[in-house]
A and B are shown apart, each in its own frame.
Chain A
Amino acid sequence: MSNYDVQEYVTVTIAGQMFGIPVLQVHDVLGSINLTNIPLAPPEVAGALNLRGRIVTCIDVRKRLGLPAREETGQRMSVVVEHHGEPYALLIDTVGEVINLKSEQLEKNPATLDPRWREVSAGIYRTQDNLLVILQIERLLDFAGNASAAA
Chain B
Amino acid sequence: MKFLKRKTFAAVLASTLLVLGACSSNTTNSNSQGASNNPGASNEPAATASADPVTLTMLVSGAKAAVGEDFELETLPRLVKEKFPNVTLEVQKLPDEQYYTSVKTKLAAGEGPDIFLVFPNMANMGAIEVAKAGYAADLSGMSFWDRVSESAKNDMSYEGKPYAVAKGMDILGAYYNKSLFEQAGITEVPKDWPSFLAAAEKLKAAGITPIVMGDKDPWVIQFGMYQLSANSVYPSDPDFDKKLQTGETALTDEKWVKTINQYKELYDKGYVASGSLGMASAQAMQQFVDGKAAMIFTGTWDLPGVTAAGASEFERGFFSLPGNDAGQPVYTSAATAAGYALNANSKNLEVGKQIFEYLYDGESPLFQAWVESNPSISVFSGVELKNAIFQDVLTNIQETGNAFYFSNQMWPAGVSDVMQSKFSEIIGGKSTTAEDVAKAMQDKYTELYKE
A binds B: no
